[in-house]
Structure 1
């Protein structure tokens, strides 16, 4: 049987570009490009004797390692802190080799160790971060003594080139640290938002379960009063058999009592348990036709404008009774809000989803409540008309099948409620 898209909303799928190793791989390509530019462009531009071939070999080795990380390591699970430390040590070793060939600690590019440490502090736990910092200091100290001196064609300009290099290194370091830390901050904020939304959904589900259990108990207790009302109604029907209008009213009352008992039986049977697993494939046009007929039979005073369903022929979706009840509640709300007890129901296909619109001509949802429904849909918003709990339950049922619920004001007054649900086999 087809199943709905019932992945738990609390689960936040990881994004490849949001993982630390993916960022390191992306950043390393710029590092490799800088090494190549140094090897090829520094000698003619600055008139400095630089061993281009060894530097290009270091850049090539780092590029091969980065390709391995891109196509092998990233295909696996996200590495742990020690694996990330190894990746950063590889970068440290590569730049140490370049700096050894270009003046060691006298080269202003040695300050590039700082953004490397900053990146490590952003992605590593404290132990690994301190190890990276200690190793960087040790390498810096070693390069102070051990390095290949730079050959300058004009030694009198050494201080000018050194100051220019310090400025360039500072600019690059500032850009790298800002870019990386801002990306990390954005990821943390997105994670915090996802966690907050997950907590909201969990609290909402707990409220719904509590209400469902309370409703199941109330349904059991209300069985006796409804049975008594049914007996009294049967007696009234026997006594008023000669009055057609009274008999018609009694028949309507009997239908409503039967409808109440049917609802209570469903509540008792469900016992507060989720019924998503019982969902089945529904023909959308037939489903909506049956729902409109049911509502009109329950509310003789209501009128539902329901357009032709030929354009929905063959479209199916997965849903269960909870989704039917959610749409039932929304249509009932629209009818109640409209002074003429009318509502308009339309449906249309939009790609791989179906959109169902319920339009009423009532006073509309107050702006503060409408904003609350969009900004915090997991919290019930109470009004004098009781708007809130029913919409909360409707939203929960619709989201369980991968759908959405949206409200918008209608031109001229009223509200447009839109449900979108995924289609089956499209």
Structure 2
């Protein structure tokens, strides 16, 4: 039985549980009708002397149970313990019927397995195994039933035959629980994977729409930025302005900021797949991370320490979305009030690991719970919460992942991992 999982099936949600309770009530009603018809047919059709009073009383208990369950289910949800209790009543009533009509020689003794299967499908593993144990004990006890069916109606079973039938029943019940619970678990895992894929498809569609919007905005911004750069260049040669060092310094600052805006627009277009005249930039992993950190600018720039633990420096192609992801993490650290940011660079086999740890406020529990989902942020400005969402999908595109947690001693820690092959320079053939 190696490879089998004994874990319980996934818990059912409220709607599914209510539907299953109703279905079980319908099944119980059918069983009541079938048992009543069989008892009457055998007693009055075939003339078999059955004790009708206790057998009809057992059916009345099942009818009352169905009515009680229907009343309770209309007011609140039926829990696992209550549902297990109803199955116990079913098993006890079935045992009474079998005991009064031949015991293990009754051909309907196999109905015990139906209760075991129902428990394996609807209830946790403990309930399934409890019913296996109970029905196995009751099956053995039924071998001592004093009520025997007349010849021609029941099987004539020797004690060894009864013992073999008990072993067969117990083995069948155990195998049913093993495989049914495994199947239920597989179905639950499949549904979870489908839900995850649907969520991922929705997120990727969100990214596509944002990318189209960003690409269009980048194209629109190119013209006014170029016009502003030309105007600033003209102002620099204006005699009325060139004589003022303060104004010239401000013009230089404006020119620098416009240049930065143009670089950002270019990165947006590159990330959106727009064709530009720039050739891919060859660099190395160490220089790539160091350049991103060195070029990072912020109005409240904390101290950045780089822990470079690379044994060798593999050549790579500079990936702009990945660079922007690291910049977003540094920006988040600064906005969280960090005074020091520690960037760790590792190469573990063929996997790159970059860890950004800061001494700021750390992550709110809601952020960690919904990490990587759009618009999850403690910031109040419009559009906040997209940085980590985009970072998650950039790493996903590279075949990597991003993980976040509160660092020991305070602050936040975000780890990026991706395969080196995703950015490595292809060797010449």
Q: Secondary structure at the match of 2:370?
A: helix
The higher-RCO structure (CA 8 Å, 6+ apart) is 1
Residues 333 and 358 of structure 2 are in contact (CA less than 8 Å); yes or no, is this contact kept in structure 1?
Answer: yes
Residues 338 and 360 of structure 1 are in contact (CA less than 8 Å); yes or no, is this contact kept in structure 2?
Answer: no
Aligned residue in 2 for 1:381: 376
Question: Is structure 2 residue 204 aligned with structure 1 residue 205?
Answer: yes
User: 2: distance between equivalents of 1:164 and 1:312?
Assistant: 69
Q: 1:285 to 1:351 in 2, by over 3 A?
A: same
Q: 1:311 to 1:255 in 2, by over 3 A?
A: same
User: 2: distance between equivalents of 1:346 and 1:305?
Assistant: 11
Residues 338 and 360 of structure 2 are in contact (CA less than 8 Å); yes or no, is this contact kept in structure 1?
Answer: yes
User: 1: distance between equivalents of 2:318 and 2:184?
Assistant: 39
1:37-52 to structure 2, matched below 5 A, reads: none
Worse overlay, 301-310 or 347-356: 301-310
- How big is the shift at 1:356? 0.8
Q: 1:250 to 1:201 in 2, by over 3 A?
A: same
Q: 1:237 to 1:318 in 2, by over 3 A?
A: closer
1:2-21 to structure 2, matched below 5 A, reads: none
1:22-37 to structure 2, matched below 5 A, reads: none
Q: TM-score, normalised by structure 1?
A: 0.55
- How big is the shift at 1:265? 3.2
Q: 1:197 to 1:395 in 2, by over 3 A?
A: same
Worse overlay, 305-314 or 204-213: 305-314
Residues 284 and 312 of structure 1 are in contact (CA less than 8 Å); yes or no, is this contact kept in structure 2?
Answer: no
User: 1: distance between equivalents of 2:229 and 2:321?
Assistant: 27
Aligned residue in 2 for 1:250: 251
Aligned residue in 2 for 1:262: 263
Aligned residue in 2 for 1:359: 357
1:280-359 to structure 2, matched below 5 A, reads: 283-295=284-296, 298-299=297-298, 302-307=301-306, 309=308, 311-315=310-314, 320-338=319-337, 340=339, 342-359=340-357
> Structure 1, residues 233-252: CA drift from partner, whole Å, max 9, x if none?
33554454455555444323
User: 1: distance between equivalents of 2:310 and 2:406?
Assistant: 26
Aligned residue in 2 for 1:409: 406
Q: Which runs of 5+ in 2 are unaligned?
A: 5-104, 122-155, 425-429
- How big is the shift at 1:353? 1.9
Match of residue 387, structure 2, among 376, 382, 390: 390
Q: Secondary structure at the match of 1:325?
A: helix
RMSD (Å), alpha carbons: 3.9
User: 2: distance between equivalents of 1:210 and 1:353?
Assistant: 31
- How big is the shift at 1:214? 0.6
User: 2: distance between equivalents of 1:344 and 1:208?
Assistant: 30
User: 2: distance between equivalents of 1:280 and 1:226?
Assistant: 24
Residues 292 and 304 of structure 1 are in contact (CA less than 8 Å); yes or no, is this contact kept in structure 2?
Answer: no
Aligned residue in 2 for 1:179: 178
Q: 1:302 to 1:249 in 2, by over 3 A?
A: farther
Residues 361 and 413 of structure 1 are in contact (CA less than 8 Å); yes or no, is this contact kept in structure 2?
Answer: yes
User: 1: distance between equivalents of 2:231 and 2:275?
Assistant: 36
Q: 1:319 to 1:202 in 2, by over 3 A?
A: farther
- How big is the shift at 1:163? 2.2
User: 1: distance between equivalents of 2:173 and 2:314?
Assistant: 56
Q: Which runs of 5+ in 1 are unaligned?
A: 1-16, 19-105, 123-156
Aligned residue in 2 for 1:222: 221
Aligned residue in 2 for 1:167: 166
User: 2: distance between equivalents of 1:292 and 1:265?
Assistant: 19
User: 2: distance between equivalents of 1:274 and 1:203?
Assistant: 27
> Structure 1, residues 385-404: CA drift from partner, whole Å, max 9, x if none?
55421211111111111111
Aligned residue in 1 for 2:192: 193
User: 1: distance between equivalents of 2:193 and 2:317?
Assistant: 27
User: 2: distance between equivalents of 1:181 and 1:282?
Assistant: 55
Q: 1:281 to 1:173 in 2, by over 3 A?
A: farther
> Structure 1, residues 192-227: CA drift from partner, whole Å, max 9, x if none?
111111111111111101001011111122233323
User: 1: distance between equivalents of 2:407 and 2:256?
Assistant: 34
> Structure 1, residues 31-52: CA drift from partner, whole Å, max 9, x if none?
xxxxxxxxxxxxxxxxxxxxxx
Q: Secondary structure at the match of 1:311?
A: coil
Residues 350 and 420 of structure 2 are in contact (CA less than 8 Å); yes or no, is this contact kept in structure 1?
Answer: yes
> Structure 1, residues 398-422: CA drift from partner, whole Å, max 9, x if none?
1111111111112443211110122
Q: TM-score, normalised by structure 2?
A: 0.55
Q: Secondary structure at the match of 1:354?
A: strand
